[in-house]
Structure 1
Amino acid sequence: MRFAILSACLAALAITAPAAAQMGMPKPLPAEALVDQAEPDKAAWLTRNIVAEGSIAGGIAFRFPASFYRSKLILLGESHGFAAPQVVDLELLTHLNQRIGLTDYVAEVDPVQADLLNRYLVTGDDALLTRVFDFWTKSGAQWGNRAFEAKVRGIRALNQRLPEKRRIRLLGIDAIQDWALVAEWAANGDAEAAKRLAAAPKDDRARTLRAAIADRTGTVAGQLRATLDDAVAGKGRETIIFDSYARAVGGDLLGNRPAYGLWGMYHVMQAGINKTRPFAARVVASDLPAAKATTSVALLALDSAVQIPAPMPTGLRRLRMTNFNMDGPYVMVKGAATLRAASRPSTVRIFDLGAKGTPFTGSAFSEVATSVGQSFVPDATGADAPRMAQYLGVFTNSDWAAPREPQ
C-alpha cells in the first residue's frame, strides 16, 4: 500500500491509464464505501495538537516538540502531483537547516540525477536542471512539474544565502530512474560510448553499466557501483533505497548526521502495508542509529487538484483532476471526515498523532478503499499496531503541480 493515501492510488491510476483512456474514467466507489462520519471530539483533539500551520502558498509556522529535532531521519510523505507539498518541503527543509543545521537531503532520485542537481545548486547551470527534469517530463512521471522545479530553484536560492558549511546537498539513494543519463555519465563525455551503453538490453543494462564504471573514482562512482550491484542482484526498489541509505550512514557520505527528504507516501510508512515493507519500515526494524529515531510526516489532500499523467491514443496527456482527494469519489481514507473537520480552507495543518492523550491508534488513517487499483490495509491494526507516521498533515485547496514542458 502507499499508505492510506493517494500515493498508491494515483500511481495505480497512471498504470491503468491506457485502459481508462479507452473505457472512460473509472467508476466511483460504491456509496456505502464513501460513508464516513466525523468524530467531533477527535477533530477537536487534533486542533489542540497542531505542530505546523500556514498558507498553502507558504509562511508555515513550525512548533514541533523537542523530540522531533532529535530525529536521525525525517521523512515527509506526499501523493505526487499536488503543488502544496513542494511548498511544505522547502519550508520544512529551511526550518531544519536553521534549527538544527541539517544539510543532508535524502532524495527520491538516483545517484547520477543527484549529482546533476547538486551541480546545479552550485553553478546555477539551467542545462543540468533541464537534463534531469526532461526525463520525468517525457517519461510521464509526476515529478515532471513546475512546482518541483521551483523548489529546486528555491534550494539554490537558500544555499546562496548560507555559509558554505550550512548549504544543502542532495543524496540520491533511489534505484536507477534514468538509465540513459547513467549511460551518459558512465561514458564521461564520449557520445558514441553513451549510445552503445544506452543500447544495452534491458535485462543486462545494470551489468553493462557496472562494468563501464569499474575504474571510475569519486563519491558518485562509488554510490553508482553499489546501486548497480543491487540491481544486478535483482533487489527490489525498497531494498535498494534502504541499502543506499544504510551505506551512506555507515560511511562518510552521511555518517551520524541527521537527514531529511520528501518521498512518495508509501516509502515513509513505518510498518508493513499489504504484506510489503516500505523504506521507513525497514529503517525502524534495522540496527541503524535511525531505528529508534525516524520520524514520518504524512500529507493528505482535501479539495485539491492533482496532476495525473495519462497515456492517450494521441500520446501522453497530463490531466488536472479534482476528484482524487482523500474523501472520494475514487479514493476513501477511513477517518477523512474527522480530518476535514480539523482542517481550514487554503491551509496546511500538521497534527501530532502521538501527543499525550491521543485517541488514535498507530494505524489511524492508513486504511484506504479505492476504485482505481488495489485497496490498502496495514498489516497490523488495533490498539497495539505500530505507528505508521508520527505526524499527519492535511492541506486544502491546493492547485495541481502543473506539468513542466520539455526544454
Structure 2
Amino acid sequence: MKKIIKRTALALLATPFVLLLVGAIVYYTYTLFAVGGESSRHQAYLQNNMQQVEVGANDFPVFDEAFYDSKVIMLGEVHGFAMPQELDFELLKHLNQKKGLTHYLAEVDFSQAYLLNQYLESGDESLLDDVFQTWVNYNAQWANQEFYTKLQKIYTYNQTLPADNRIRIVGVDRIQDIAITKLHLRELLKANTNSQLNALDSLLTDSTTTSQALQAFASDYLAAVNTDSVYLPDSVSSDLMHVLANLAYQQENVQRDSVMFLNLANLTKANQWQDEQFYGMWGLMHTLQSEVNEGYLSFAYLLKNQESPFRNKITTIGIFASDSENMIPARAMPASFNKGQAYINSTWVNSDGPMAFVNGIKDLRALTKEHSMAIFKLTGQASPYLTSSLLATTRILMPGQAGIHPAAENPTSTELYQYAVLIRNSKAATPIKSSL
C-alpha cells in the first residue's frame, strides 16, 4: 500500500513537468513548420532585388516603373512598431519629390482629415491633439508619439514646398470620432442655406443628440434627395453630402473596407482626382490584394477588383518584423500582464515568433543586419515569389487573432503584395500621454 501511495505521489509530482515537456516539444515542432526553413533559391533572388533603407537618404532604386505608375501605393504595417513611421515619411517625401504626389491616403475618417489638414495649413498643434485624443480614449495603437511626430515632420516639410505641391491628408475610413464629425458638420452648415437641413442644425445644437439620431437623419435625408430635388440645391456642398453619406453607412452597417472604397471612389469623382496618385500607410490587413480568411475583402482588394479609376493599379508593400518590440493595448492582454497600464511592450508579434509566424521569413532575415530596414522587390524577373507561397501565410497563436490565410487554393505572396519590408530591432511605438 505504501509503495502504491509513493508511486502515485511521484506520478502526480512528475505530471506537470511531463506536460510542460510535451507542450514545449509540440510548440517547437509547430514553430518549425509555421516559419519554415531557408531557401537558397529565394535568397539568391532577394540578394539582387533589395535595398537597405537609410533614413534621410530618400532614394529608392529598388522600385520599378510599375511601382511609380500605380494609382494607389499602400504601405501595410502591424500597428505598434516605431520604425514603420520613419519609413512612411521617407516614402511620402520621395513620392512627392519624384512624382509630385500630394495625396496622403490615411486610415482616418473624413472629418479627422479635415482637422489634420487645418493643422498642416496652420501648424496649430491643438488640432492634432483633438484627433489623437480619440485614439488615446480608445486605447488604440494609433495613439503613439511617432505618428504625432511624423505629422509634425509633414508640416515642416510642407513649408519648403510651393502651395500647390504640398501634401494633404485624404481620410476615407469609416467615422471614428462622432464628436469631430459633429464639429465638422457645424462648420459645413455655416455655408448652407437649404431649409431642409434646419433639422440637422437643431440636432447638432442639442448636446444630447446621439450618433444614432444623426445616422437616422442622414439616411432619411439622402433617401429624400433621390426623390425630390428641393433637398439638394447648389448651396449643399459635396463635403456635407459626403459626411452625411458616411453617417448613413453607419446606419446601414456597411463593412469597413467597403466604406473605405466607396469614400475614395466618391471623393475622386467629386474632386476630379481620376488622374491623381495616392499613397499611405495602413494596417496590413487593409492592404492585402487577395481574399483572405474565408471572405475578408480588404480595401486594397476592392480597389484592385472593383470598377473604379484604381482597378488593377494598386501596389502594396507589406512590412514584417524581427527582433522588435510592439506597443500592444493592455486591454487585449490578460490582467496579469497589463498591471494597470494602458499599453505594454511585447516581442510576441514578430513575424518569426514567438506568437506570430510568417512562413519564409527566414530568407529575409538572413540577408539583413540588426537595427535595419530593408525593402525587397518580390515581382522582379524570374522571381520565385511569383509562383511561391512563401510570405503569403501568417499563423498566430494569440487568442482572437486570425492571422492571414489566403483563400486561393495555391496562393502566392505576390497576389497579396508586390514588395516586402523587414524591420529589425525596432523599438515599440511610444504611447501618447493619457490626456493631451
TM-score higher than 0.5: yes
Listed as ranges, the matches of 1:8-27 within 5 Å are: none
The answer to whether residue 270 in structure 2 is matched with residue 270 in structure 1 is no
The structure carrying a bigger strand percent of its residues is 1
Match of 2:425 among 383, 397, 407: 397
Match of 1:206 among 200, 204, 215: 215
The residue that corresponds to 1:4 in the other structure is none
Deviation string 1:298-329 (CA, Å, 9 cap, x unpaired) is 11111111100112587552111123200111
Match of 1:34 among 24, 28, 31: 31
How far apart are the structure 2 equivalents of 1:384 and 1:374? 19
Listed as ranges, the matches of 1:301-380 within 5 Å are: 301-311=321-331, 317-360=342-385, 361=387, 363-372=389-398, 373-380=401-408
* Deviation, structure 1 residue 105: 1.1
Deviation string 1:379-407 (CA, Å, 9 cap, x unpaired) is 11437786110111111111111001121
How far apart are the structure 2 equivalents of 1:120 and 1:178? 17
Aligned length: 378
* Deviation, structure 1 residue 344: 1.8
Distance 1:381 1:340, change over 3 A: farther
Comparing 340-349 with 89-98, greater Cα deviation is found at: 340-349
Match of 2:313 among 293, 314, 328: 293
Give the partner amino acid of 1:326: S
How far apart are the structure 2 equivalents of 1:253 and 1:169? 15
Distance 1:142 1:383, change over 3 A: closer
* Deviation, structure 1 residue 347: 1.3
Distance 1:244 1:227, change over 3 A: same
How far apart are the structure 2 equivalents of 1:151 and 1:94? 11
How far apart are the structure 1 equivalents of 2:236 and 2:368? 51
* Deviation, structure 1 residue 152: 0.5
Q: Is the 8 A contact 2:105 2:169 kept in 1?
A: yes
Distance 1:291 1:198, change over 3 A: farther
Aligned partner of residue 406 in structure 2, secondary structure: coil
How far apart are the structure 2 equivalents of 1:198 and 1:166? 42
The answer to whether residue 150 in structure 2 is matched with residue 151 in structure 1 is yes
Q: Is the 8 A contact 2:86 2:150 kept in 1?
A: yes
Deviation string 1:247-292 (CA, Å, 9 cap, x unpaired) is 1222315232111111100111100011211011111112223212
Aligned partner of residue 154 in structure 1, secondary structure: helix
How far apart are the structure 2 equivalents of 1:305 and 1:253? 42
How far apart are the structure 2 equivalents of 1:162 and 1:219? 28
The residue that corresponds to 1:44 in the other structure is 44
* Deviation, structure 1 residue 363: 4.5
* Deviation, structure 1 residue 210: 6.5
Aligned partner of residue 273 in structure 1, secondary structure: coil
* Deviation, structure 1 residue 180: 2.0
How far apart are the structure 1 equivalents of 2:266 and 2:389? 30
| Unmatched segments (≥5 aa) in structure 1 | 1-26
The residue that corresponds to 1:10 in the other structure is none
* RMSD of aligned alpha carbons: 2.7
Aligned partner of residue 258 in structure 2, secondary structure: helix
Q: Is the 8 A contact 1:58 1:88 kept in 2?
A: no
The residue that corresponds to 1:62 in the other structure is 60
Give the partner amino acid of 1:306: N
Q: Is the 8 A contact 2:274 2:309 kept in 1?
A: no
Listed as ranges, the matches of 1:214-253 within 5 Å are: 217-252=236-271
Distance 1:386 1:327, change over 3 A: closer
Q: Is the 8 A contact 1:363 1:378 kept in 2?
A: no
Aligned partner of residue 395 in structure 1, secondary structure: strand
Q: Is the 8 A contact 1:105 1:168 kept in 2?
A: yes
The residue that corresponds to 1:24 in the other structure is none
* Deviation, structure 1 residue 297: 0.6
Q: Is the 8 A contact 2:379 2:419 kept in 1?
A: yes
Aligned partner of residue 251 in structure 1, secondary structure: helix
Q: Is the 8 A contact 1:104 1:171 kept in 2?
A: yes
Comparing 34-43 with 162-171, greater Cα deviation is found at: 34-43
How far apart are the structure 2 equivalents of 1:79 and 1:384? 20
Aligned partner of residue 67 in structure 1, secondary structure: helix
The sequence identity of aligned pairs, in percent, is: 31
Deviation string 1:201-228 (CA, Å, 9 cap, x unpaired) is x655522466799888445323212222
The residue that corresponds to 1:388 in the other structure is 416
Q: Which has the higher contact order (CA 8 A, sep 6+)?
A: 1
* Deviation, structure 1 residue 197: 5.7
How far apart are the structure 1 equivalents of 2:85 and 2:358? 22
Q: Which has the larger radius of gyration?
A: 2
How far apart are the structure 1 equivalents of 2:388 and 2:167? 32
The structure carrying a bigger helix percent of its residues is 2
How far apart are the structure 2 equivalents of 1:88 and 1:314? 32
Deviation string 1:57-90 (CA, Å, 9 cap, x unpaired) is 5535311112211111111101111111111111
Q: Is the 8 A contact 1:53 1:61 kept in 2?
A: no
The answer to whether residue 139 in structure 2 is matched with residue 111 in structure 1 is no
The answer to whether residue 187 in structure 2 is matched with residue 162 in structure 1 is no
How far apart are the structure 1 equivalents of 2:241 and 2:156? 29
Give the partner amino acid of 1:395: I
* Deviation, structure 1 residue 195: 7.5
Query: With structure 2 as the length reference, what TM-score do the two structures score?
Result: 0.80
Give the partner amino acid of 2:357: M
How far apart are the structure 2 equivalents of 1:205 and 1:192? 11
How far apart are the structure 2 equivalents of 1:248 and 1:60? 30
Aligned partner of residue 121 in structure 2, secondary structure: helix
Distance 1:363 1:287, change over 3 A: farther
Give the partner amino acid of 1:350: I
The residue that corresponds to 1:141 in the other structure is 140
